[in-house]
Amino acid sequence: MLELQNISKTFEGRVVLDEVNLSVAKGATHALIGSSGSGKTTLLRITLGLIPFDKGYVKINDQALLSFTQVEWADRIGYVPQDGGLFPHISARNNVALIAKLRGWPKSRIDGRVEELRKVVDLDAEILTHFPREMSGGQKQRVAIMRAAMMDPAVMLLDEPMAALDPLIRRTLQQELKSIFQRLGKTVLLVTHDLGEAVYLAEQLTMLHEGKMVQTGSYRDLLLHPASPFVTQFINAQRTLSDAGEVP
C-alpha cells in the first residue's frame, strides 16, 4: 500500500502543501483530484522522490521513501507521465525494456516480461517496433503503462492519463484502463483534474485545494456530504463542462 502522511512543502516562502494525508489500500485505485495550482503536481513529484519535502513521510508497503536512493525507489513505483512521456529516440520496445536492460536483466527475461505485459495491455506485437512519432495517442499510453509495470513495482502512478486524447478514444481507453488495472492488480494512484475520469477509474477520491486536503471519500460521499462549499462548487463546475455525460 501507498501512504502519504502529513506531507508539507514550502517553496520560496509559500506553503504549497500543508499536512496532506493520503492512503491507498493494496490493489485499490485512488484518484488525487484538484485544479491547476492545487499542489497535486508537487505531491506527485514528492511521491516519485524527485523533490524533497519539509515534513511527513511517504511509504510503500511500510518502507519509507527516505531510506532509499532515487534509483531504488524508482523500482517500487511505476510512473506513467502525461501523454505517456515516451523517449522519442528509441522504439516502443526499447522504451519498455530500457530500465530492465540498465539493471542487467538477461534478454530472455526481458522478452518474457515484455510479452506478458503486451498481452495485459492488449497491444499489437508489431507496434512495439514503432517509434513514438509513428504511434497513436492510445498506443503510446499503453506502451507507457507497460514501461511503468516492467519492473513489477508495488505502486503505479499515473499523471493525467487521458488529458491528451480525443473524446472518442478517451472513452474506449478509459474502459480498457480499468480492466488493465484489474489485470495488473497494482495499487494505483491517479493524478487528474478531470472528475469524470477520476470517478470512472477510482473507488476513492482525494480532493486537493490550495495545498490542503479538502476531502477524501467516494464520489457519493463528496456529492452527498461535501466537506466544504468548494467540493460542491468543483463538482458542479465539472458536471456543467462535461455534459457529454462522462460523470455517472
CB-based contacts of 85, cutoff 8 Å, min separation 6:
144
Query: Quick one: 4 or 231, whose CB is closer to other proteins?
Result: 4
Q: Does residue 164 touch other proteins according to CB under 8 A?
A: no
Between 167-184 and 107-121, two packed helices, what is the crossing angle to 10 degrees?
120
Residues 230 and 49: their CA atoms lie apart, in Å, by: 30
What part of residues 86-115 is at the interface with other proteins (CB under 8 A)?
A: 87-91, 98-99, 102
Instruction: Residue 140: name the closest of 130, 125, 149 by CA.
Output: 130
Q: Which one of the spans 33-41, 73-81, 110-118, 237-245 is the region binding other proteins (CB under 8 A)?
A: 73-81
Strand, coil or helix: 54: coil
Residues 194 and 143: their CA atoms lie apart, in Å, by: 22
Q: Which one of the spans 1-9, 20-28, 71-79, 206-214 is the region binding other proteins (CB under 8 A)?
A: 71-79
Q: Which one of the spans 126-134, 163-171, 185-193, 203-211 is the region binding other proteins (CB under 8 A)?
A: 126-134
Q: Does residue 71 touch other proteins according to CB under 8 A?
A: yes
Q: Are 64 and 71 in contact (CB under 8 A)?
A: no
The contact mask relative to other proteins for 25-54 (x = CB under 8 A, - = no) is --------------------x--xxx----
User: What are the strands, taking DSSP E only, across the chain?
Assistant: 2-11, 14-24, 29-33, 55-60, 63-64, 77-80, 155-159, 187-192, 204-209, 212-217
List 14, 62, 108, 133, residue binding other proteins (CB under 8 A): 133
**Closest distance between other proteins and the C-beta of residue 160, in Å?**
13
Binding site for other proteins (CB under 8 A): 45, 48-50, 70-75, 79, 81, 85, 87-91, 98-99, 102, 131-133, 147, 151
